[in-house]
Chains A and B, each alone.
Chain A
């Protein structure tokens, strides 16, 4: 391979110009816009406006110097919506890339800060003020490159380290000399003040066809043919629109593959899918023979243990059929649940190993009599309903009753409704009287049956 082989493909194939990149769809307040056009015009109008404002401010400054301080004129400021924009979208769809490509097209220099820099008020100001306010000595001789400020990963601002960063950014937006573009993955509440002053672009993932085109382009450039089409599909599917993830995975697969184990490799790169949970549950009940194997299984998997032990709960009776085994398994599972509750309540993370051993090993190895169930068993999803949540029909019904008769919603369900059911089932006449009195519609009448 070429000499560049040690740089990540993601960097290697980062588009140099907007023209050569596949543009993700962007929306502003629900309306579709052409991202490239919007960005270009944003930068252009910014420089036009800032020129005007600087000129006006020069005049006011001259005025302020001659007139007494009390009568100082306000300096003009650029509308913050014209000074900065925010691109918001899932990771890896090309937000940063498009900005670099744009800067390249317009012959600008990108000044970037991202989550790896601490962003306290001071450090942000230091780094950016240098670039935003100063005009170097060389400016007189050479037309220096215009700058574009990129604040990447704004949603990474949190915690004590970045305290004051949001007001700092807002300050910066208010008196910047260069256009600012921010990137963020998701809506964050602590960024609300920022959202109020700037324009927000929602960026949506690329379509699968586009992604296919790009990956094929990269694979032909790299001269690679060992990957079968269905394997490529698998890689694309599991990353769901994250182009960067796809390219990274591809590189990982190509560099570590030897023809045969491609599929296994893809699965090992696989992150968190239900398919994996299915196999874990099956392995846990059907393959595991000792505690060590159970441990290996839970250690290897990246599935969130929050979910995993609920899956175990749901599928226990499918795999253990004797009541003795079941009771033993549930004994262990319920202790695991209790331990987990205490871990979460008091932050006793040291107890986590017991939790793992009990809900995986303790449950799977409770089988004393029954031989491990052989063959395919259906694994089902755990139910995620919160007990005590009322359905819409029940809510309406309760409201109608409480309008007439003041009792609490739970009393209606647990105490009053059974009585009404009983009464209305005695005769048609009663049902009619009750439903007329409560003004029930057909759907709510069903609750009485």
Chain B
């Protein structure tokens, strides 16, 4: 069955906690929890794409056993609500009978996200023989002010439902939440287990993989296994022997070259063209304003410019990013940045 899957990163997805490579300490702690059959709310912190969600998923699966499917839910905090869900949240607003003063008789609304996606699950009783339900919230930091709503939820429904919050940036999470959770710092996998895993994959796919190539892979992919496997699969299209040359070749084409192109157009000073491309990129990749800035930043740092010029560029981006915090229209802020980049190239 599993041999039919054409995408390796899915084909070699671990199905048990034990199989996860390179996160020994973390896995040991989790297995201890499974033995004890009880845990407080958890907070998983770690860089993008190193398998936090996968660990959370496998952990809940092993913890709840056969009651897993009915008692867990995975919620993405960064997916915007649909129009219907918004309406639903609005219609569930209620008039307070207990409040006095200026709040009396006013409609009380909880944040729509919590109202629609979290509350219904948290409030339901545990099904089957499970000790409690488990809610996994991904990208928890995106919630911003809505995090406040979780404080009460975690206390009132804590005995009924435990939460596993997943985030990339712990600094964006408010202190009261952190204090209510046990923190798991999830690091990237170490080189030894990384190379071990890649070698087993290479064996199964009958590839020839030298240690040198593995080292390069490790460096390029920042220890992110999914990314490394993707690269490996792309490389093997051209043959079963993977050399460092072909690897570099693919890395260059695989990278997101759209943003690089955008910068090139900006440096030619063609603003209108740049803006059209910028809108296309945002449409294709669904970047929000902040993501767009950070991708631009990543690309700009690699430019062959003097350090003074680089600092100037960073200044321009920082300024635009700062304004976008309060601004209402992201398009204006990004356009403003592009126009400044166009001017910057003229002065160089």
Interfacial residues, chain A to chain B (CB-CB below 8 A): 163, 189, 309-310, 313, 316-317, 323-324, 326-327, 329-331, 333-335, 337-338, 340-342, 344-345, 383, 385, 387-390, 404-410, 413-415, 418-420, 422-423, 426-427, 430, 433-434, 437
Contacts and interface: CB of A to CB of B under 8 A. Distances in A.
A388 B288 contact: yes
B105 interface: yes
A154 to B, nearest CB: 19
Contacts of A430: 6, 237
B333 A334 contact: yes
Contacts of B289: 387
Contact of A390 (B269, B275, B286): B286
State the majority secondary structure of interface residues on A: helix
Contacts of B327: 334, 337-338, 340-341
B342 A387 contact: no
A330 B340 contact: yes
B193 interface: no
Contacts of B330: 387
B10 A405 contact: yes
Interface string B323-347: 1001111111101100110110010
Given A323-B339, A408-B76, A430-B6, 20 more contacts: A317-B272, A323-B271, A326-B271, A326-B343, A327-B343, A329-B339, A331-B336, A334-B320, A334-B332, A338-B327, A340-B328, A383-B279, A383-B331, A387-B331, A406-B53, A407-B53, A410-B78, A415-B49, A420-B7, A426-B234
B237 A427 contact: yes
Contacts of B79: 408-410
B332 A313 contact: yes
Contact of B271 (A309, A317, A413, A433): A317
Nearest to A387: B282
Given A327-B342, A405-B13, A426-B234, A334 B286 contact: no
A313 B7 CA distance: 44
Interface in B1-24: 4-7, 10, 13
B283 interface: yes
A423 B286 CA distance: 21
Nearest to B13: A405
Interface of B: 4-7, 10, 13, 49, 53, 57, 74, 76, 78-80, 90-91, 105, 138-139, 230, 233-234, 237, 253-254, 256, 269, 271-272, 275, 279, 282-289, 320, 323, 326-333, 335-336, 339-340, 342-343, 346
Contacts of B326: 338, 341-342, 345
Contacts of A337: 323, 327-329, 332-333
Given A330-B340, A383-B279, A437 B332 contact: no
Contact of B237 (A323, A385, A410, A426): A426
Contact of A313 (B49, B74, B287, B335): B335
Given A337-B328, A427-B237, A418 B340 contact: no
Contacts of B343: 323-324, 326-327
B80 A326 contact: no
A341 B324 CA distance: 9
Given A313-B331, A324-B346, A406-B53, A414 B285 contact: yes
A383 B342 CA distance: 22
A148 B330 CA distance: 54
Looking at A323, A331, A410, the one whose CB has the most chain B CB atoms below 10 A away is A323
Contacts of A329: 339
Contacts of A413: 284-286
Contact of A433 (B6, B49, B76, B331): B6
20 contacts: A310-B329, A310-B332, A316-B335, A317-B272, A317-B275, A324-B343, A327-B343, A331-B336, A331-B340, A334-B333, A387-B282, A387-B288, A388-B286, A388-B287, A388-B288, A408-B76, A410-B286, A418-B256, A419-B254, A426-B237
A347 B79 CA distance: 28
Contacts of A310: 329, 332
A420 B254 CA distance: 11
B80 A388 contact: yes
Contact of B4 (A334, A340, A437): A437
Contacts of A331: 336, 340
B170 to A, nearest CB: 19
A425 B105 CA distance: 61
Given A317-B272, A326-B271, A387 B287 contact: yes
Contacts of B91: 189
A387 B346 contact: no
A330 B335 contact: yes
A174 to B, nearest CB: 21
B286 A330 contact: no
Contacts of B271: 317, 323, 326
Contacts of A414: 285-287
A62 B330 CA distance: 73
A393 to B, nearest CB: 13
A264 to B, nearest CB: 34
